[in-house]
Amino acid sequence: MIAALIPAPLPRPRPQPPPLPSLPDPRTSPTQALPALDIARLDRSGRVSARLLLERLGWGPCQQLRTDVAERTILIWPDDAGAVLVGARGDLTLPAAVRQMCAIETGDLVVLAADLHRGLLAVHPAETVARLLADLHVRLITDGHGR
């Protein structure tokens, strides 16, 4: 009796699977190597903890570093005349001037990206990384991948 009340399902064509994204070429050269990443929070003294990345870069306590700013990103590299020192606990004190140029304030999250081949550390405001991801997500949705 119940079977008489439930209609038979209509035949439907099977939907086509979405195309798979193309993967990057697995043979990347050292110049195309991905950076090592970490996230830190700026403390009230202007320091960020970056012990693991500093170790991977080979920068120990009292290593002298130079800083520069490009496109709201703090760039850091070893330099015997550098004014920034690696702290004993694997922390970096980011100079107030470079923090201001990048709009990084106490309590802000930063994304640390180490280029291990070039011996360079980039400190990005988390907001910058979020904007890049937002742009990517808009492109993905616009291209029909986010339904």
Q: Taking a C-beta distance cutoff of 8 angstroms, is the pair 81, 64 a contact?
A: yes
pLDDT bucket at 20, cuts 50 / 70 / 90: low
Q: Looking at domain 34-138, which CATH architecture does it have?
A: 3-Layer(aba) Sandwich (3.40)
pLDDT of res. 10? 72
Q: What is the mean pLDDT of residues 52-62?
A: 95
Nearest to 114 by CA among 127, 125, 123: 123
Residue 116: closest CA among 45, 16, 32: 32
Instruction: State whether residue 93 is helix, strand or coil.
Output: strand
pLDDT in the model for residue 86: 96
Residue 2 has pLDDT above 80, yes or no: no
Tens of pLDDT, residues 97-115: 999 999 999 999 999 999 9
Residue matched to tokens 């640390």:
112
Q: What span, in angstroms and rounded, lies between the C-alpha atoms of 142 and 138?
A: 6
pTM for the model stands at 0.73
